[in-house]
């Protein structure tokens, strides 16, 4: 994709990530002369690192499923998804040479398990569309002038009739995403919903948690609880859970992390973990009772739930003040009850999150109420469009964030 020396463009797209590449392909296919400015020497850095370098490019659900996953922000996505639905997104990539597959979690991946195939396909589409990609050329200043916009990059001054800001959020700042779009948007009078890390691991001070580092539990139901009296729930989710050397991670933990990063005093929060969500409290109590009655001379570990690893059992038994070398048959009713409470509601005191440095997305961003969801055009500045994570949009884990970027990018590209 060679550099075209022209400094006058119909459309300049700022940021060659998921939303920007999609917007540029679409606008150029519709006949616009499009330049994409990218700060990095390579485009699509987050596409490459996404989904553990496998790129979970969307979620196998209908448009309503995507809207629902975004909660209050969801209604903003109706028009974008109407212009590029989940199905059409998958077809777009299939036709561009990326065969896809759906995993049991509903996550859609390339059959090759290679994120680079997704990026290469997009770059082929970009090339074919006729859009020009300028790498290692960050936008500095963006000004409204009579005929459109003046853009001052690290190398030149450009003019454009229309501008699409797709510069992403401010998480993983090492990827080039340092919140630059927020500055341009607020200079034009846009409101910024305070950006905060989302889909980021949680930190914990308790040593017993760190000692469990490396343990993964495939199905845990978690609730972020504030230690008020009575305690109240700020978020909940269910899925795979991971203990790490700094605290907690895994999809289920990332999914509730925005409630922690959005809290002013995270040390007042605890994560309540139901380690056995498929069995009710009463049934677990009954199972433990029956197993201890028939345990004969066996020790406590013989009656503990087999689904969980030994190291975790040891920790839980210690936390409730018991020892693993107790005779199972001698365990009292009260001791059984406290074990059951621990398995069904292990309380882990939190200290905070790993922050923007390790947040897969940024919550907050340019306020949705100031952007026309039918076109992605700013309601304050005509000719200015915004798409992707720069907006106050953040979804759960599972491909939802890319889908929002693809669809809002496509709609912006269709509208310019």
**Residue 295, Cβ density class (10 Å: 0-12 exposed, 13-18 middle, ≥19 buried):** middle
Considering beta carbons, is residue 274 or 389 the nearer one to ligand FAD?
389
Q: Which residues pair with 196 in a beta bridge?
A: 363
Backbone angles phi, psi at 8, to 5 degrees: -120, 125
The nearest distance, CB 364 to ligand FAD, in angstroms, is 13
| Dist CA 405 CA 26 (whole Å) | 13
| Dist CA 412 CA 170 (whole Å) | 21
The nearest distance, CB 197 to ligand FAD, in angstroms, is 11
Provide the pairing of β-strand 346-349 with 148-153: unpaired
Considering beta carbons, is residue 48 or 347 the nearer one to ligand FAD?
48
The nearest distance, CB 264 to ligand FAD, in angstroms, is 25
168, 356 contact by CB (below 8 A):
no
214, 243 contact by CB (below 8 A):
yes
Binding residues (CB under 6 A) for ligand FAD: these are 14-20, 37-40, 45-46, 49-51, 55-56, 138-139, 166-168, 172, 176-177, 180, 360-361, 388-389, 399-402, 405
The nearest distance, CB 48 to ligand FAD, in angstroms, is 10
User: What is the gyration radius of the CA atoms in the chain, in angstroms?
Assistant: 25
48, 201 contact by CB (below 8 A):
no
Considering beta carbons, is residue 56 or 377 the nearer one to ligand FAD?
56
The nearest distance, CB 294 to ligand FAD, in angstroms, is 47
What phi-psi label fits residue 152: left (phi over 0), alpha (psi between -120 and 50 degrees) or beta?
Answer: beta
The nearest distance, CB 258 to ligand FAD, in angstroms, is 13
The nearest distance, CB 130 to ligand FAD, in angstroms, is 20
CA-to-CA separations, 97 to 110, 182, 228, in angstroms, rounded: 10, 35, 53
Considering beta carbons, is residue 180 or 335 the nearer one to ligand FAD?
180
Residue nearest to ligand FAD (CB): 17
353, 359 contact by CB (below 8 A):
yes
Neighbouring CB atoms inside 10 A of 7's CB total: 13
Considering beta carbons, is residue 221 or 405 the nearer one to ligand FAD?
405
The nearest distance, CB 165 to ligand FAD, in angstroms, is 9
Considering beta carbons, is residue 34 or 269 the nearer one to ligand FAD?
34
Considering beta carbons, is residue 281 or 367 the nearer one to ligand FAD?
367
Considering beta carbons, is residue 273 or 361 the nearer one to ligand FAD?
361
């Amino acid at each position: 994709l060679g550099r075209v020396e022209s400094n006058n463009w119909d459309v300049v797209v700022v940021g060659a990530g998921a939303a920007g590449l999609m917007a540029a392909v679409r606008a150029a296919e519709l006949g616009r002369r499009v330049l994409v400015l990218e700060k990095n020497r390579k485009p699509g850095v987050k596409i490459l690192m996404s989904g553990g370098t496998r790129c979970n490019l969307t979620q196998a659900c209908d448009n309503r499923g995507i809207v629902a996953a975004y909660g209050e922000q969801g209604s903003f996505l109706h028009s974008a998804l109407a212009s590029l639905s989940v199905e059409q997104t998958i077809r777009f990539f299939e036709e561009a040479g990326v065969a896809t597959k759906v995993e049991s979690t509903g996550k859609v991946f390339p059959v090759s398990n290679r994120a680079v195939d997704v990026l290469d396909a997009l770059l082929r589409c970009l090339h074919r569309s006729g859009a020009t990609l300028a790498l290692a050329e960050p936008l500095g200043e963006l000004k409204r002038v009579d005929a459109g916009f003046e853009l001052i990059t690290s190398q030149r001054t450009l003019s454009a009739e229309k501008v699409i800001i797709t510069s992403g959020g401010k998480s993983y700042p090492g990827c080039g995403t340092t919140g630059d779009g927020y500055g341009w948007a607020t200079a034009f009078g846009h409101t910024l919903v305070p950006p905060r890390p989302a889909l980021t691991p949680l930190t914990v001070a308790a040593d017993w948690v760190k000692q469990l580092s490396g343990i993964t539990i495939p199905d845990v139901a978690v609730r972020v609880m504030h230690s008020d009296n009575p305690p109240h729930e700020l978020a909940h989710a269910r899925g795979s859970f991971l203990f790490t050397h700094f605290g907690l991670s895994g999809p289920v933990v990332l999914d509730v992390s925005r409630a922690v990063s959005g809290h002013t005093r995270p040390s007042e929060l605890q994560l309540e973990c139901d380690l056995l969500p498929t069995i009710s409290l009463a049934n677990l109590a009954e199972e433990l009772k029956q197993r201890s009655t028939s345990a004969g001379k066996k020790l406590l570990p013989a009656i503990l739930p087999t689904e969980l690893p030994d190291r975790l059992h040891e920790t839980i038994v210690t936390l409730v003040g018991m020892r693993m070398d107790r005779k199972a048959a001698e365990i009292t009713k009260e001791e059984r009850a406290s074990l059951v409470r621990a398995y069904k509601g292990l309380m882990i005191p939190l200290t905070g999150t790993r922050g923007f440095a390790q947040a897969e997305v940024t919550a907050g961003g340019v306020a949705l109420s100031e952007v026309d969801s039918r076109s992605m055009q700013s309601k304050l500045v005509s000719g200015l469009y915004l798409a992707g994570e720069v907006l106050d949009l953040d979804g759960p884990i599972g491909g939802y964030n890319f889908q929002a970027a693809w669809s809002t990018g496509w709609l912006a590209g269709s509208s310019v």
